[in-house]
Amino acid sequence: MLGRLFSRSSQSAPFVPEGYRVYAVGDVHGRDDLLADLLSQIEQDHGERGPAHPIVVFLGDLIDRGPQSAQVVERLRRYATEGLATVFLAGNHEEVMLRVLAGQAEILVDWLRFGGTECLQSYGVDVDRIVRMAPQQAVQHILGVIPSEHLEFLRSMGDTFRLGDYLFVHAGIRPGVPLSGQRQSDLRWIRHPFLTDRRDHGFFVVHGHTIAEDIDECVNRIGIDTGAYSSGVLTAIGLEGQERWFLQCRSAS
């Protein structure tokens, strides 16, 4: 795997409070191979930059689509206690999985088409078998396979994290609506009008959710979902003071 690092800064850039260094990680989507590499890059980068309080923010969609959702969840569940300080935000894929497993069995097939098939296969679930079961029976079978610690970890995720001038969120916000009035569905699912709105939101938004071929940097937001599950590229942004820089890892193939 190859790493990539570059930086951009501006005198008018938003700021992170003094003494903090933040790394935000885009949508992992079951690519544990890329995640392992990127976490190593983050720790190396942090060590080379001198003293600061580090926070690693994961922007959601850890699961689905890629082949290693179970391994991603286990790695990050452990990293939360053994690695740098962490914040975990929920994406729309975590939402759908948890809705199914909370009893909304009628959307199980939708989840499977949405990337849940790959997620369940990573836990050793025979998907061909469960689709022949009654939906509620299938959900009970899945609950018997996925470790309870993994579900507790996914349920513990928040929706937003704010530090200094930055707001971290999975999908984005509804423009013109105060942060306190934002709907959870927008925070996890929105695309438009957020992506095309250029007004000052009162904070600078760092988000994932919407795939771009490269970092999607605008006047009021940065999108860092580079489609890891299909492109083989996983991206993180580093923030300290008014400085920004980016880390990327790419699959060897």
Express each pLDDT in 217-238 by its tens digit: 999 999 999 999 999 999 999 9
Q: Chain-centre distance of CA 242, in angstroms?
A: 23
Supply the angle between the helices 135-143 and 92-101 in degrees, to the nearest 10.
110
Q: Is the pLDDT of residue 118 over 80?
A: yes
pLDDT for position 13: 84
pLDDT for position 9: 44
Residue 248's DSSP bridge partners are 4, 235
Q: Is the pLDDT of residue 7 over 70?
A: no
- HEC per residue, 11-41: CCCCCCCCCEEEEEECCCCCCHHHHHHHHHH
Share of the chain above pLDDT 90, in %: 94
Per DSSP, the three-state class of 200 is coil
Supply the range of the domain harboring residue 36.
2-250
- HEC per residue, 224-250: CCCCHHHHCEEEEEEEECCEEEEEEEE
The CATH number linked to 47 is: 3.60.21.10
**Integer Cα distance of 130 and 212 in angstroms:** 34
Give 83's contacts (C-beta < 8 A, 6+ positions apart). 39, 43, 56
What beta strand segments (E) does 133-210 contain?
Answer: 160-163, 166-169, 204-207
Q: pTM of the full predicted structure?
A: 0.95
Domain tally for the chain?
1
